[in-house]
Amino acid sequence: MIKIKTVPSEDVLYAKSKWWGFPDLPDGLDWPTVQAEDEGEVFDDPLTFICQIKCADLAPFDPEGLLPHEGMLYFFGALDYFLGDMDAFTAPGLGEWPSEFFKVLYSPTCESLNTHTLMYDEDTPAALQPEEIKFGSDPDSYTWILGEPFLEEVREAMPGLIPLLQIDENDDWGLRFFDCGMLNFMISPSDLASRRFDRIRAYLYSA
C-alpha cells in the first residue's frame, strides 16, 4: 500500500498532487455533478473535489506498475454532509454508493491543465484550503492507495476488489463518516490493469 499524508501549504500546487482546493483539469474533463433537488427545483450539484494525484509521484512506490505512472487521477464524491454541511443537497449513506455520488477521472497528461473554481460568493472559495500530498509509509495514516481495506466489513462486502483510495476521517478537516468510518474507492485488479476507472465502486462503512 501507498500511505498518504497531507500537509498545509502556501504554494499554489497547480498540476501537483493535492488534497482539497480546486482541480486542475485538462480540456475535455469537466467537474462532475449529481442531480439534486431543493424546494422543488432540480439542478446539477457539483461533487466535492477530494484530491488530484500526479501519477509520476506514485511510481517510486509502485515497482510492479499496478498504477499509471503518467498523468493525473482525480477523485470526487458527495462529501459536503460529511464535512459538516447539515443542509447538503446530497448525502449518501452507508454501504455501496450509487455511481452518481462519486467519480474518478483520469487524464493521461499533466500538461495544459485548467484550474476549475467554485465560489460561494466573489470572495469565498467553496473548498477547503488545499494541502500537499506526501506519499510513503506514515504509520499513523489510514488513508492509502492499493493494499486492502483496513476494515474487515469492507473486505467482506467487496471481495476481490482493492482500494484505489481509502479515506479515513480527519478532525482537522472536520471530516467524519458518521462514527469511526472510512470511505473506499474500490476497483478490481483487472479493471485497474486496463485503466477502467469508470468502473470504480465506492463503499462507506462506519462502526
* Model pLDDT, residue 139: 85
* Model pLDDT, residue 143: 97
* Model pLDDT, residue 190: 97
d(CA 72, CA 45): 23
Q: Look up the pTM and report it.
A: 0.95
* Model pLDDT, residue 39: 81
Contact 34, 100 (CB under 8 A): yes
* Model pLDDT, residue 89: 82
* Model pLDDT, residue 40: 83
Which CATH number do you get for residue 166? 2.30.320.10
* Model pLDDT, residue 137: 83
* Model pLDDT, residue 185: 98
* Model pLDDT, residue 87: 82
* Model pLDDT, residue 163: 98
- Boundaries of domain holding 40: 2-206
* Model pLDDT, residue 90: 85
pLDDT (tens place) for every residue of the chain, 207 residues total: 999 999 999 888 999 999 999 999 999 999 999 998 888 889 999 999 999 999 999 999 999 999 999 999 999 999 999 999 988 888 899 999 999 999 999 999 999 999 999 998 778 888 999 999 999 988 889 999 999 999 999 999 999 999 999 999 999 999 999 988 999 999 999 999 999 999 999 999 998
For the chain, the domain total comes to: 1
* Model pLDDT, residue 184: 98
Instruction: List Cβ neighbours of 73 (8 Å cut-off, separation of 6 or more).
Output: 52, 53, 55, 104, 105, 106, 164, 197
